Structure formats: C-alpha cells, structure tokens
Chains A and B, each alone.
Chain A
Amino acid sequence: MLEATNVVVEYAGRGWRSKGFKALHEVSFGIRPHETLGLVGESGSGKTTIGRAVLGLVPVSSGSIRFDGRELVGMPRRQRRGLSDDIQVVFQDPYSSLNPSMTVEDILVEPLVARRAGDRTAASQRVRTLLDQVGLPHDAVHRLPREFSGGQRQRIAIARALALRPKLIVCDEPVSALDLSTQARVLDLFISIQEETGVAYLFISHDLAVVRHISHRVAVLHRGGIVEYGDAAKVTERPEHPYTQRLLMAAPIPDPDRQAARRQERRALLASEAVA
C-alpha cells in the first residue's frame, strides 16, 4: 500500500556554503494494508523524519514514496490535501497536539467538515461513534483538552485521526509521554482499533518493548539509515545487526535476576565489540 524507496531527506545548512544535514540516507520500506510497521531508533536516528516525510511535512530531496500507486514526492499541496482522507497522524505530545482553545467536538468535527463541506448533524453523529471507539464518554464533547489527562488526550488525538476512516495512521511516539499503565491501555486501544477497522500503522517509537508489542514487522534505524528490517519476532528477539543487539541489551528488564543476567550479556557484548 505504501512503498518508500531510497528516500533521502536533507536539511539545508544555515548560511552561505554551509553543508546541509542529511537526516535520512536512502531509506526503503513498505507497509501493507492492516499491518503495523514499527520504526525503532534512538534520538537523532531519523525515525520522526520518516514519519514527517510520509505526511508531507518535510520536503523529500530524492527517492520516491508511493501510496496506492500515487507518487507523494513532489505532489502539489492542493492535491496532497485530498490524501488526508487516507493518511492520518497521532503525535507524541498529547499536550501540544490538541488546540487548547477548541472543544473536543470542534477538534473532532473539523476534519469532517473540512473534507465534506456542511452537514453538521452527520458530523456530530460520527463524533459520538468515534468517542465510543476510543472509550471516552459522550459528554466529553463540550470540554477543553486541558480538562483531560495525558492518556485521555491521546484518545482524543486517536479519535481525530480515525475521523476520516484513513487507511494509514502515522503514529509518532504516541505513548512515550504516558505513564506505564496508561501506555499499556492506549497500545491495546491501537491494536483493537486495527482489528476492527483494518487500518495500517507506521508506528514510531524509541522503545523496543512498545514496538514489539504492536508491530508485525520492525525496522531499526541508526544514524538516518535502516540497519535491520524484518518480522517483529525476529528483529526484537534474535537481532542480527550489532546495533540492534546493543539496543536490546540496553533495555533493562523489570526482573532483578534476569536483568542481572542481561547486564552480564551486555558487558560481554560490548567487550567483544571492543576487541573486534
């Protein structure tokens, strides 16, 4: 459904003759309908840039991103706006991704009205269905985002993304700002929505455990390039690339004995790398 080949994103340097910064080097990946592709990487690895490139929020320098056969790179903005029916987004920060001065109803109705002009009654009917879908009560519609907790705000953001029944949702670290127990519930919400609606996710996270939980396939990013790409079980449990191995070893396990063992493994891994 989405096919990215050799995508390069380069930010122009500031000032005369300064060299640009290459955020992505020739990245290629694909997402099929109903599927979750997890993108995992540390800060500065370019994982957020990939998401923004798919959304058309950063210019792509070369390469191609095709969605349902249509080329997204170089598509004019007016035409691109038509694609918002199909590609949506949930951002990391549930505090700044919702306009603080709009009610939940305004936030959810907006994309509906913008795309299919008029008919507010159908729109508010849809808003109720959406709230049901993300597990929020109907009386939430007249409240402002600041009256909700982080997890609830993220549910509102998910409802907004679902409003136009998209085929693909780009999820940029959607649970990183949430508490542990909220995180688990929101992830399960993502999964159950996928099972209900068949939407595909491009799921970006720095947390290998989160990515493993939700993804069918995983791509590991390091310094702007994909170093490992494959089935979730394989990449997150028996990684082949040394960087993925380091990443896996670094995540502490919430179990003192197993963590002690992993610590030993990590030391051995680092030592062997230092020798090599």
Chain B
Amino acid sequence: MTQPVTQPVGVENLPVRRGLLRPVLRNPLAIGALAVLSVIVLASLLAPLIAPHSPTSLRLDQINAGPGDGYLLGGDGAGRDIFSRLLYAGRNTLLGAAIALSVALALGVLSGLLSGYYGGFLDGIFGWGANLLMALPTMIVLLALFQALGSSIYLSMVAFGVMLSPGFYRLVRGQVMAVKHELYVDAARVSGLSDPRIIGRHILLVVRAPVVIQASVVAGIAIVVQSGLEFLGLGDPATPTWGGMLQDAFTNIYTSPIAIWWPGMTIALTVASLVLLGNAIRDVIQRTTSSSTRLPKPQPVVALPPVLDDRESALLRIRNLSVGYPSGAEVVHGVDLDVRRGEVLGLVGESGSGKTQTAFSVLGLLPPGGTLLGSSSIQFDGAELARLPENERRVLRGRRIGYIPQEPMSNLDPCFRVGQQLVEPLRAVAGLSKRAAIAEALSLLERVGIPEPRRTFAAYPHEISGGMAQRVLIAGAVSGKPDLLIADEPTTALDVTVQADVLELLRDLQTEFGMAMLLVTHNFGVVADICDRVAVMQDGRIVETGDVRPLFADPRHPYTKSLLESTLEDSTPRTRLEVNHA
C-alpha cells in the first residue's frame, strides 16, 4: 500500500508484436507450398507472354506426339501444344475456383456473422438454409444445372460456391457464438460502438484465422470438383481447362500414355500446396497462442533461517526439489521443506511462485512434461517418493496421502452420482465390500457436515453447491485416514462464509485424525486461521519459513513484508464524501 502508483511497471523484456505473416513465412512447409502456388498462379496469369504457342493452333504432325520438336511437353489429341494449353487452362481453372471460393466466402461468412451475433429468428432462417444446402447431393445438383443453364463452367462454379457456403457458415457461426459473450465485446458495447463496428473490428478478427485455413482447403476442393466436371465432358470444349485436358489425354491414353501426367500433376500439385498451406497456417497459429510461458527471474535468497528438522519428526522431507519443463523453464529451484506429523504447514505465494508445482511434485501429479530435476528428493515417512515406481506411488496416494483440489466442481465427474465417486475409491483402496463402502461413505458425508447425507449421496455433482462439493471432496480425501493431506487452495473458489465453514471443518478433521497438512494458499488470512508454520515462496524458491506467530509479527524477508503490507484488512475506510467536493 506504499508504492507510488505512477511508477511504470516493468515491460522491458517483452517481445514486440508479431504479425501472422512473418511466423508463417518461417515455416518451411508453408514456404514450399507458397512458392509452388505462386509459380502456378503467376505462370497462368502471364500465359500470353510465356506460352510459346497459341492454345488453339494445330500441328497435324504433333497429334499425340511425345515431348520435344518444338512442343515442350508434346502435343494433344488435336495436335495442340500441351505446355501452352496448361498455362492458358490455368487461368480458366483458377478463375473458376476463385469464383466458387468468393461466393462461398461472401455468403457463408456474412450469414455466419449475422447468425452468430444476433441469433434468434435470423439464426433460425440461416440455419435452415444451410441445412437444406448440405442435404443436397452436390454433384447431382451441378450436373442438373449443366442441363438447365448450358455449358458455362463459371455459372456452375457460382452454384458450387453456394453449395460450399454452409461450411463457412457453420465455422463462422460457431466462432462468433464463442466470442460473443467475451467481456471485450461487452466492453466495446459500453464504449458506444455500433453493431457493424463491433462485428467488423472485434469479431471478424477472431474468425479470420480459421476462415483463412478453411478457404485454402475449399479452394483445393473447388479445383478438384471443377476438373471432375470437365473430365466428365461438361463445360465448354472451346476453352482450355485442366479437367478438359485430362479428358482429352484420357481418350488418347493408349496412343500417348504420358500426356495424362501433365494436367494430372498440375492439379495434384496445386491442390496439395493449398492444403499444406492451410495446415502450416494452422500450426503457426496454434504455436503462437500457446507460447506464453516465460522463465521466472531468479532472485537472491536473502535470509533462509535454518528451521529444518531432524529426520525423526518430519513426515515429509523435501530436499533440493527442482521442477523443470521440456521448454527449458525451471519453475521450482531447489526447495527444502519439512512437514512434521500432525502439523499444518502453509505454503504461501503469489501466482507463478511455484507453490502448486511443489505440492503436485509430492503427489506425483505434475502436468505433462513436468519432471523432477537433479538431486530432487521427496521423502515420505522414510520412503523416497522421487524414485518410487508409479504403481507403488498410486497406492500411497489414496491411502496415506490425501488431496483436496482448488476447483471442487471440476474434480467431480459430472456423469456419476456423488456417492459412487466416494464408494469406488473406498472399495479399490480399502478393499471394503460394497455394502460396507456405502455405509462408510454415508458416515463420512455426515462427518463433513453435509445435512442430508443420503440425498447428497444420490445427487449428481451439478445438483449440489460449490461448498457442498468441496465437503464431498474432503470426505473423499480423508476416507483413507491419510497421514498427510495436501490441500491446494481449498477455499479459493468458495464464498467467504463458506470458506469459514470449510476451514472450520478442516481444522476439526485435522485434530481428530492427527493428520499433517500441506496447505497451499495465497491468502494470509487463511494461513493465520489454520496453519502452525508457514513457508513463503517467490519465483520458485522458499524465501522464508517459520512458525506462524513470529512470522506474522516480525517478517524478515522483504518479500514477506511487502506481501503482509499489501493486505487490506486494517486499512481505514474512506470517509463519507462531502457533497461539494473540491
């Protein structure tokens, strides 16, 4: 409460903003795909300049001829230059695909945005339309349209674009529904932005990436379907297209087997590049969103008082515990900690201090990739946990080490009744019969202060409150009569009045069973309420340990001091404001 507020907060070593394009260009797959695509597109666009022959000029001596003799890739069934025709055909085929894609994008993205943002009636109508289109068999509709509308491939590509639009519609609608209720959209509304502006600025930005990915895949599909139609002989025979060339080569496959390679390879290369480009963009996007972990800055330990105990009385002895992740981040650096039998040790720190990682190391439940480094040692009642095989550790977890999580609701399986989730471990760990396990579970529920144990026993997790859920989990944790209870922020998700009740319960149980408890928390009030000793963690190190009373009365480490000064408990309330304030 003493620091000047105008002092800039450190943001020195942060990376500068990166666009989407640059990381995509660092991906070798993306570069390759982009290079192939640009060569194909450029060559098609510049066909009149590059092509050595006209796509329609005939040479009778070159009918079904092999490569060479003025024709780079040989001649087709009518004696025209395959290479020149490939270039000219590219223009028509790519234009067709572009038409289909633009129609699909325009219809799908627009209707998806409106449908997702406004919902209700509009959503109903667009949804019906999309479902109807998806129910139609695309190929048959396109073939029928050829009969009705004549041989223009472009008209059918417009129709194909309409048929493709539900894909974009569903994608965009889903994305919009997900971000519509984000707080920043509410904030924009409060800022006085109009609906079109909110959609254009905030929502379109979010759906941009998935739409780009889908578009590259759809462009590939459009090329394949278009070529397929032309291969079937639909389309204008006068305009060269890749599909039309494929058909020509196919009819002459016995006289000139090599000719089918050229249009075939071109189509395959184009489509493959499009799909690979889409994949590469997706990879890049996923990587940039999940790479926010940074190494904590190490700080010197100022005064670590020697409060470590002799071997006899310590139930849990942690020595030189370091936890690292494959990314190279080390989140806990050489922690020493003792928990004596029957004592409550508070592990306090702010987010990112490594307190939860330390607790999870004891349980052997580190998140994927987390490993104990170097000479880390965790001794529980004389046994070394760090080198214990997983199955022996599992036995220990249920029976001798109990665990109470932070989020009670997400730690109960919503598919099973509360009672079942208590009975199952009792039978598996303690080996009770079904009847005995049910009786035991009911008595546990009663013990943790649940008013109607039978009703809660038969309830599903969503039918009980957060405070009740936490009591159920506490019942489960003490069911094996453990020697050590590890509680990770057990009251943080609860209301204050419920928190007080749960702390009361934990205290009673702890004295009743004589359990030791390792309580992870950020709340000094909770520490003062229940703990015998405290260890303060900062940046993966323990900076101070001590008995509760002396530590609160006379904190020695500056970090502990600053934390205790930050509590608002004793701040004086602001006085009533005079009506004519300055």
Contacts and interface: CB of A to CB of B under 8 A. Distances in A.
B416 interface: no
B194 interface: yes
Given A208-B496, A209-B568, A212-B571, A181 B192 contact: no
Contact of B568 (A88, A139, A184, A250): A184
Given A81-B194, A110-B188, A180-B563, A36 B292 contact: no
B411 to A, nearest CB: 18
B525 A251 contact: yes
Interface of B: 1, 3, 5-9, 11, 14-17, 182-184, 186-194, 197, 201-202, 205-206, 208, 292, 350-351, 466, 495-497, 499-500, 503-504, 522-529, 548-549, 552, 562-569, 571-577, 579, 581-582
A259 B577 contact: no
Contacts of B495: 42-43, 206
A147 B522 contact: no
**CB-based closest 7 A-B pairs:** A84-B192, A252-B525, A254-B524, A97-B183, A250-B500, A111-B191, A232-B573
B17 A252 contact: no
B567 A254 contact: yes
Interface string A159-170: 010011000000
A99 B202 contact: yes
Interface in A33-88: 33-36, 42-43, 55-57, 81-85, 87-88
Contacts of B202: 99, 102
Most chain B Cβ neighbours within 10 Å, of A146, A160, A180: A180
A72 to B, nearest CB: 13
A85 B192 contact: yes
Contact of A142 (B5, B17, B571): B17
B350 A181 contact: yes
A28 interface: no
Contacts of A114: 191-194, 197
A198 B581 contact: yes
A110 B193 contact: yes
Interface of A: 32-36, 42-43, 55-57, 81-85, 87-89, 91-93, 96-99, 101-103, 110-111, 114-115, 132, 135-137, 139-140, 142-144, 146-152, 155, 157, 160, 163-164, 179-185, 187-189, 191-192, 198, 206-210, 212-217, 231-233, 236-237, 246-247, 249-259, 263, 266
A35 B577 contact: yes
B579 A152 contact: no
Nearest to B493: A43
Contacts of A55: 186, 190
B483 to A, nearest CB: 25
A123 to B, nearest CB: 13
Contact of B17 (A57, A103, A151, A250): A103
B497 A212 contact: no
B548 A256 contact: yes
A180 B567 contact: yes
B527 A180 contact: no
Nearest to A88: B190
Contacts of A81: 192-194
Contacts of A91: 183, 186-187
A189 B9 contact: no
A97 B568 contact: no
Most chain A Cβ neighbours within 10 Å, of B5, B189, B202: B5
A183 to B, nearest CB: 7
A151 B183 CA distance: 17
Nearest to B182: A96
29 contacts: A34-B577, A34-B581, A82-B192, A93-B183, A96-B183, A96-B184, A97-B186, A102-B202, A114-B192, A114-B197, A180-B524, A181-B350, A182-B350, A185-B5, A188-B1, A206-B495, A212-B571, A213-B571, A213-B574, A251-B525, A253-B569, A254-B525, A254-B527, A255-B552, A256-B528, A259-B525, A259-B528, A263-B504, A263-B529
A250 B499 contact: yes
Contacts of B582: 198
B9 A136 contact: yes
Contact of B184 (A42, A99, A115, A246): A99
Contacts of B500: 249-252, 266
Contacts of B552: 254-256
A252 B503 contact: yes
Contacts of A213: 568, 571, 573-574
B190 A87 contact: yes
Nearest to A131: B8
B526 A252 contact: yes
B496 A215 contact: no
A81 B191 CA distance: 8
A179 B190 contact: no
A247 B522 CA distance: 20
B182 A179 contact: no
B351 A179 contact: yes
A192 B528 contact: no
Contacts of A102: 201-202, 205
B497 A184 contact: no
Nearest to A216: B577
